[in-house]
Amino acid sequence: MSTEFDLSDYRRRMDGAVSSLKSDFAGLRTGRANTALLDGIMISAYGSEMPLNQVAAVSVPEPRMLSVSVWDKSQVGAVERALRESRLGINPVVDGQTLRIPLPPLTEERRKELVKIAGSFSENAKVAVRNVRRDAMDFLKKAEKDGDMSEDEQKAHSDDVQAATDSVIANIDTALEEKSAEIMQV
> Are the C-beta atoms of residues 42 and 49 closer than 8 Å to each other?
yes
Residues 6+ away with beta carbon under 8 Å from 86: 40, 41
Top-confidence residue, 112 or 1: 112
pLDDT in tens, 28-72: 766 677 787 888 788 988 888 998 888 999 998 888 888 999 998
Confidence of residue 1 (pLDDT cuts 50, 70, 90): very low
pLDDT score, position 86? 79
As separate numbers, helices (DSSP H) first and strands (DSSP E) second, the chain gives 4, 6
Identify the sign of the CA torsion 171, 118, 51, 63: negative
* Percent of the chain's residues with pLDDT above 70: 96
What is the dotted CATH code of the domain comprising 7-25+107-184? 1.10.132.20
Q: State the Cα–Cα distance between residues 126 and 169, nearest whole angstrom.
A: 6
More confident residue, 184 or 12: 12
Taken in order 103, 108, 110, 116, the sign of the CA dihedral is positive
- For the question of whether the overall pTM of this predicted structure is more than 0.85, the answer is no
Same fold, 7-25+107-184 and 32-102: no
**Domain spans of the chain?**
7-25+107-184, 32-102
- Classified by CATH at the fold level, domain 32-102 comes out as Gyrase A; domain 2 (3.30.1360)
Q: How far apart are CA 43 and CA 35, in angstroms?
A: 16
Question: 101 near 29, Cβ under 8 Å?
Answer: no
Mean pLDDT of the chain: 88
Give the pLDDT score at 13. Answer: 93
Burial class (CB in 10 A: 0-12, 13-18, 19+), 20: middle
Q: What is the pLDDT of residues 127-170, one digit of tens each?
A: 999 999 999 999 999 999 998 888 899 999 999 999 999 999 99
